[in-house]
């Protein structure tokens, strides 16, 4: 499963927005992160969608207004 969080705070510390890949067939644990590199930094992600064959993720970011396309690394 793919998920994104918006920027938030925890215990008074800022938590940056990022994406998660969650193993739903096994442990239910987070197995990977995305969107933390400078070139793909997420501001306020709002929604995501997968490309037709699952090799790309599209993320709607509302601050700044843009759509990011991330490609799966092979």
Q: How far apart are CA 14 and CA 23, in angstroms?
A: 26
pLDDT in tens, 16-35: 888 999 999 988 999 998 88
Q: How far apart are CA 56 and CA 48, in angstroms?
A: 10
pLDDT in tens, 33-61: 888 777 678 888 999 999 998 889 999 99
**pLDDT value at 74 more than 80:** no
CA-based angle 74:3:37, to the nearest 5? Answer: 55
């Amino acid at each position: 499963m793919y998920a994104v969080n918006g920027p938030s705070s925890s215990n008074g510390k800022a938590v940056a927005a990022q994406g998660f890949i969650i193993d739903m067939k096994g442990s239910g644990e987070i197995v990977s992160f995305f969107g933390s590199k400078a070139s793909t930094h997420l501001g306020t992600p709002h929604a995501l969608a997968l490309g037709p064959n699952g090799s790309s993720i599209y993320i709607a970011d509302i601050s700044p207004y843009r759509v990011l396309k991330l490609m799966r690394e092979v």
